[in-house]
């Protein structure tokens, strides 16, 4: 299977981060997604250059690696490697498969079934790193399901408005 192209994701480049944010050591991104307000706090790191000066990096909020570019998609902010891992198995799949996958993850975490329910805690004995990786995958899937549902509702709304306005059934 071909790797997803990152161009369809919104990306942020360390080069575009202002000097003020660099001085603060973090940068904040917030926006609306599926009627939900999403905010990301991204930490910045710096390394010394060989010839003097410093170079700035993002710390990927998911894997904590040092990266120059971060991607925003499905309400998540992470590096390309993280998104490739999350998308690899659930790309080009239908809603049922997404629901099943989300259910499987929730089951593994011991969370209440169904993405409409709030997320649970980290299971006892599971490493934080493992938990974060699994939760990230869950959130990407859950947000894709929400996005598709909102699209469906909006389409319905448009059809009802069309009929209500005296237009024929479509
Ligand atoms: Zn990452």
pLDDT digits over 27-66, tens only?
A: 998 888 877 888 899 999 999 888 888 999 999 999 999 9
Residue 41 lies in a domain: yes
Domain with 56 in it: 6-78
Q: How many A from CA of 169 to the centre of ligand 1? A: 48
- The answer to the question of residue 85 being in a domain is no
Q: Verify that 68 and 110 share a domain, yes or no.
A: no
Give the Å distance between the CA of 35 and the centre of ligand 1: 26
In a domain, 1, yes or no: no
Instruction: Give residue 78 CA to ligand 1 midpoint distance, Å.
Output: 5
**Residues 55 and 119 both lie in one domain:** no
Pick from 84, 78, 74: which is nearest to 147 by CA? 74
Tell me how far the alpha carbon of residue 85 lies from the centroid of ligand 1, in angstroms: 9
Per the domain annotation, does 132 fall within a domain? yes
User: Are residues 98 and 147 in contact, defined by beta-carbon separation less than 8 angstroms?
Assistant: no
Mean pLDDT of 1-29: 77
How far is the C-alpha of 51 from the C-alpha of 4, rounded, in Å? 37
113 contacts 99 by C-beta, under 8 angstroms: no
Whether 53 maps to a domain, the answer reads: yes
| Ligand 1 center–CA 80 separation, angstroms | 7
- Structural domain tally of the chain? 2
Look at residue 7 in the predicted model and tell me its pLDDT: 43
* Structural domain contains residue 146: yes
Residues facing residue 114 across a β-bridge: none
């Amino acid at each position: 299977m071909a790797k997803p192209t990152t161009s369809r994701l919104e990306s942020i480049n360390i080069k575009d981060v202002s000097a003020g944010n660099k001085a603060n050591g973090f940068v904040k991104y917030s926006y609306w997604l599926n009627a939900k307000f999403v905010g990301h706090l991204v930490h910045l790191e710096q390394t010394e250059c060989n010839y003097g000066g410093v170079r700035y990096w993002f710390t990927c909020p998911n894997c904590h690696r040092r990266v120059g570019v971060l991607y925003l998609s499905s309400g998540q902010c992470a590096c390309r490697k993280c998104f490739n891992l999350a998308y690899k198995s659930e790309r080009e799949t239908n809603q049922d498969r997404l629901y099943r996958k989300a259910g499987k993850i929730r089951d593994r975490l011991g969370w209440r079934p169904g993405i409409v329910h709030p997320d649970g805690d980290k299971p006892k004995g599971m490493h934080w790193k493992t938990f974060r990786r699994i939760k990230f995958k869950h959130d990407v899937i859950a947000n894709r399901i929400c996005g598709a549902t909102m699209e469906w509702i909006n389409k319905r709304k448009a059809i009802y408005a069309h009929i209500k306005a005296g237009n024929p059934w479509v």
